[in-house]
Amino acid sequence: MPARSPLPSGQARRNRLSIVIVAWLVAGTADILVAVTYYPLTAAVTPVGILRGIASGLLGAAAFSGGYATAALGLVCHYAIALIWTLVFFYIYPRLAFLARSVPLTAVLYGTFVSLVMTFVVLPLSRVGPRAFHASAFAVATVILWFTIGLPLALFARRRAG
């Protein structure tokens, strides 16, 4: 009987890769859809303004006077950030066994982790720069990330593992 390889077969790797790609696209799309629907209702900002705000991480304040190309750059940046968070999740998920026990717990923990890192590390180091902290805005953003990033990734990770 031939020895089993510890590495998955080519087909299994492709299946796992496709799950990660779909998880990234679902999470990224869910997050941006919530952003462009929730924030215009609560913060008097347009969807294009939200995308320009994302682009301001690279361009600084100049992004807010940009046009649709700047908004498109913001969308590309958004999906790039979502890809990074997806890859981080699928790297740590199999290494932290307790995450496999509960999809809701995983969603809350990972969404909170993403929110903390984005708020206190990524944004201050970007061209957005330091901003005033508002606990209520942070809480809303964190809960959004539970459902738009944490939950889809946890569900796809469970499917990948199963």
Residue 157 placed within a domain: yes
Query: Does 7 score more than 70 pLDDT?
Result: no
Residue 52 placed within a domain: yes
Q: Work out how many domains the chain is built from and give that number.
A: 1
- What is the arithmetic mean of pLDDT over 99-125? 96
Residue 7 placed within a domain: no
Residue-wise pLDDT for 75-87, tens only, equals 999 999 999 999 9
pTM: 0.90
| Structural domain for 112, as ranges | 15-161
pLDDT of residue 125: 94
pLDDT of residue 6: 55
Question: Rounded to an integer, what distance in angstroms lies between the CA atom of residue 136 and that of residue 118?
Answer: 16
